[in-house]
Structure 1
């Protein structure tokens, strides 16, 4: 196995699932601190936005060849994610208890997207150099992958895994917070 494939495997089979597990631990912490009666819907929606901000570049990298356009999308999404993450913690810290478990989950949720972005740039080093040198000609369109990373089963399995441990729990959190906001006395 060459180094590039080894790094791709680290992304697929370690960092991507670990990001989902950290998100689930974070959700468990929100549930334990009764986010619906403390920081409420505003914070819950921030969590959903951050998940989407990281999910979009993940999908782009799994579905399309990494070129300058895909790297720009990844970098832009990471920067937005960082801004919302800082806003989220600043907003929540005065409204509810943030446990040591949640702080650890936040550590993973903040660093893993950066590590994934760095690995994507290392794996696609010539594209990263083209980005820096503004050599963007012919690299500003989405080109579907010729093959699926991780095999034909990976994308479906990963998306199912993420739906179970992140999408459905955070959707439940949004609904719980929305209900509490609509009916505060219940």
Structure 2
């Protein structure tokens, strides 16, 4: 197994699952602090936005060949995720208790996307060179991956894993917060 494949396996089988687990732990912390009656729907929606901001580049890297366009989208999504993450914590601070456990989950939720982006850059170093030297010709389209990373079973398994650990719980959080805000009207 070559170094690139080892790094891809680290992304697929360590970092991607850890990101989902950290998201689930964060959701558990929100539930424990009664988010629907403290910081409410606004914060809950920020959590969903951050999940989408990281989910889109993950899906793009799993479905398409990494080129300049995909890297630009990944970098932009990471920067936007960081902005919303800072906004989220500053909004929630003082409205509800943020436990040590939640702070640790936030550490993973903030650093794992950066680590994943760094590994994607290392594995696709010639594309990074093209990006910084503005050699973008022929690299601004989405080209489906011929052979999916992790084999044909990985993407359906990963999407199921993320639906159970993150999508459904955060959807439930949004619904809970929406119901609570509607009761307050």
Shared fold, TM over 0.5: yes
Alignment partners' CA distance in 2, 1:148 and 1:127: 19
TM-score, length-scaled by structure 2: 0.99
1:101-151 CA-to-partner distances (Å, cap 9, x unmatched) read 000000000000000000000000000010011000000000000101001
Aligned to 2:171: 171
TM-score, length-scaled by structure 1: 0.99
Q: CA deviation at 1:184?
A: 2.7
Alignment partners' CA distance in 2, 1:117 and 1:133: 19
1:164-186 CA-to-partner distances (Å, cap 9, x unmatched) read 0000000000000000000139x
1:2-22 CA-to-partner distances (Å, cap 9, x unmatched) read 000000000000000000000
Gaps of 5+ in 1: none
Aligned to 2:111: 111
Aligned to 2:58: 58
Aligned to 2:19: 19
The CA RMSD over aligned residues, in Å, is 0.7
Query: Runs in 1 of length 4+ with deviation above 4 angstroms?
Result: none
Q: CA deviation at 1:94?
A: 1.4
1:52-99 CA-to-partner distances (Å, cap 9, x unmatched) read 000000000000000000000000000000000000000001100000
Aligned to 1:162: 162
Aligned to 1:146: 146
SS at match of 1:137: coil
Count of residues paired in the alignment: 185
